[in-house]
Structure 1
Amino acid sequence: MATAERIVEGDYESWHDEWLATADLVFADVQQASDAGHTASARDAFVRASNY
């Protein structure tokens, strides 16, 4: 919902930009979890990031 709220209606570029920003945010979780040795959490976050 947070991503959808940032999308400007009718602006397809904002749709792309906001979903990319969400993916980048989740990918940061991948890196943190990986650095901490939490492979299952890193894997799950990577799947979420790739879906966005």
Structure 2
Amino acid sequence: MRRFLLGLILGTAGSGITWAATEHPTWTAVIGITVAVLVWFGEFILDDLT
């Protein structure tokens, strides 16, 4: 649950920063979703790399 909330918060923060810099809805969505997914699945990705 903690990882989900952290991904949600960081994804929202990334989207907010992207929106402030570009005001482009596609980039905003891509960055927000990418950050959230990387946080949610980061443990599995790192385990596969080692």
Question: TM-score, normalized by length of structure 1?
Answer: 0.48
More helix by share: 2
Structure number with larger C-alpha Rg? 1
The structure, 1 or 2, with the larger RCO (C-alpha pairs under 8 Å, 6+ apart) is 2
